Every structure is written in structure tokens, then in C-alpha cells.
Amino acid sequence: MDRVTLNDVALRARVSLATVSRALNQPALVRDSTVRRVREAAADLNFRPNLVGRNLRARTTRTLGVVLPTLTNTVFADCFQGIERATRLQHYSVMLTTTEYRVEDELAVTEELLRHRVDGLILTVASAAESPVLDMLDCEKMPYVLVYNQSPRPHRQTVSVDNRIAARDAVGHLISIGHRSIRMVTGDFRESDRAQLRYRGYRDAMRAAGLVPQPPVEVPLHTAVASGALAQCLRGRDPASALFCSNDLLAISVVSGLLRLGLHVPDDMSVVGFDGVDLGALLYPALATVVQPSRDIGESAVDTLLARLRGDVPGRSIVLGHSLRIGETAVRFARRPTSQVIRSPNRRK
């Protein structure tokens, strides 16, 4: 057990406990020879400062709480890595919890972080507009920054891309390469206000081109996309030639589903995702998608939050730039063969 405390070091260095503390943390206040003696004693004893004691006394933990929906989606994992990097650079620590998209857990896990007395929070909630957690945090004046979320209320500071415009750009791209019948595939809207904004962007782009936006195709998240849902896009008088998916995981799943139905991507159907996870670029065909800078989002959130903790005035939400990754799953629309045959999956010959 490590029962060695400041006091033990003090005894060994033959100085008072206060001097040890100063020698280790503010060496300028202590005579050089003493500093050396203390450092030596500390090293000899293998002294490891107890942050619990420090935090109690300092009434500050230099720790940030992070609440994310999941880590399985690498978007959030990347963001967390950014958060971790930035906090470490600033000599802060992090406590992470995930809700696994259980909206009803958001409050409880956050409570727990507050019991630990984190100095501030970085979170992604289901909906920034209507959120019991955020109401609570506001009410307690606990500093926080949202990531990925965008909020109508300006005092809820966020770091994100402009989801609506980004989606509009993506769909606009599809339109610019000749697609006319485009549908959007999303997970459960209730889990993600981002998906809603992206849907608005889809509508914007369609309308701007004089096209009629279709209702979204909602599929259960994180499972193989039911071929039924896909078939739905292919049927009717005006079958889709392109699908815009509200995130990359979904898009990847959609591409596979189409291939499995015997369709060719992108020749029979173009697909565009949203997120820009690294994996998408590794696939063949490489996923066309909207890239958001997840790591930067994390780092920015930390910087913003720490600035606030230092007493800076809250400042405005931060919108980071997105970009389109052209990829190979989206291609110029070509009139499809008069009789669209559903071929068997692309086995050889």
C-alpha cells in the first residue's frame, strides 16, 4: 500500500509538511537547497501526491466529465480521443460515461459525475432543445459545452459542424451530379437532434432544386438494415437513385444491404453518409460522406470549457468546417436500364 504522505516526506527531509507542499508545487517560494532535499526525500519514499486530498482542499478537481451516447460509433470515440489529448495537455483529467442512447439515463450519469465534483462537463445529449440534464446544469450554473448537438438557445454553447448546411451540401452534391430522386435514411429521430437537422438540410437541398423532399426512411439503429426498408426506396413510380444516410455506420450498413440485394453501388444506387469515420475511406467502394472533424470537436470543446472555467465570458458556439469526401459510393446518375433486374449478389460469373 502507498501510505506515504506529505508528512512522511517532511519527516525525512527534516522540514515541515507545508514546506514540502511548497517545494513540490511552487519551488520558487523555497530555497533551492531545500527543494533539492525535499525532492530527494520524495523520490526515496516513492511519494505519490494524493489528488483526493488536494481536490478536497482546493475545492476543484481539475477533472472534466464527459457524457457521450456510445463509443461503438467511432465518431464519438475519435471525439473522446481529442478530448483526452487536450485535457492531458492542460493537466486536467477526464471521467467518461456513456448512455448507450438511453435518454432516460442522461440525468443519472451526469449526477454521478457531479458527485465526483468534476469542474465542468462535455456532453452530447439526445436533444439540446429539450433536455432535463441541461436544464439541471443551467439551474446549477455548472459549466458545460455540448459536442455535436446544436442548440436553438444561444447560451447553450456547442461545438459542432453546421449539420443542416452540411447535409444540404451533401444532397446538393448528389443533385449536382444528376440525381433527382433522393431519399434520406435515418435512425430514430428521438435519439439524435443531429439527424433531424440533417433531414432539414436534405429538404433544403431538394427544394432549392425544385424537387420534392420525401419523408425519411427510419430504420432501427445499429442493426443490419432490414432489406424491407431498402426495398421501400426502390419501389414505386419514382424509385430512388441515391440515398443520403444520417450517419456513416448506417450508410455502411445500407451499402451492404444493397449489395446483398444484388444491386451495384454506386451504379444502381448512390449512397452518401455523414460523419467521415476513417473506416469509411478504407472500404471498397470507399464511402462518400460528409466529414466532420471529430477530434477537433473534442479538442475545441475542452479549450472552450477550460476558458470558461478560467472565468472567460461564455462566448458563442463554435461551428467547425465540414467537407465532402467524394468516395466511390456516389456517382453521376445515369438513366437506368429500362427493365431493372434484381440480379443475384455479385458472385463471380
Q: Site for a copy of itself (CB under 8 A): which residue of 70, 181, 214, 232?
A: 70
Q: How far apart are CA 264 and CA 322, in angstroms?
A: 28
Q: Write a three-state SS string for 114-165.
A: HHCCCCEEEECCCCCCCCHHHHHHHHHCCCEEEECCCCCCCCCCEEECCHHH
Residue 6 binding DNA, by CB under 7 A: yes
Q: Write a three-state SS string for 5-67.
A: CHHHHHHHHCCCHHHHHHHHHCHHHCCHHHHHHHHHHHHHHCCCCCHHHHHHHHCCCCEEEEE
Q: How far apart are CA 288 and CA 204, in angstroms?
A: 20
Residue 94 binding DNA, by CB under 7 A: no
Nearest Cα to Cα of residue 152 among 121, 130, 120, 124: 130
Give the range of 93-101, 124-132, 187-195, 203-211 binding a copy of itself by CB under 8 A. 93-101
Nearer to a copy of itself, 8 or 162 (CB): 8
Residue 212 half-sphere exposure toward CB, CA atoms < 13 A: 4
Residue 63 binding DNA, by CB under 7 A: no
Q: Site for DNA (CB under 7 A): which residue of 11, 45, 49, 142?
A: 49
Q: How far apart are CA 100 and CA 85, in angstroms?
A: 23
Residue 91 binding DNA, by CB under 7 A: no
Q: Site for DNA (CB under 7 A): which residue of 40, 43, 44, 53?
A: 53
Nearest Cα to Cα of residue 80 among 257, 301, 272: 301
Give the range of 46-54, 105-113, 159-167, 312-320 binding DNA by CB under 7 A. 46-54
Site string for a copy of itself, 210-239 (x = CB under 8 A): ------------x-x---------------
Residue 185 binding DNA, by CB under 7 A: no
Nearer to DNA, 48 or 207 (CB): 48
The cell numbers describing 281, all together, are: 475511406
Site string for a copy of itself, 117-146 (x = CB under 8 A): x----------------------xx-----
Binding site residues, DNA, CB under 7 A: 3, 5-7, 14-19, 21-22, 24-25, 29-34, 47-50, 52-54, 56-59
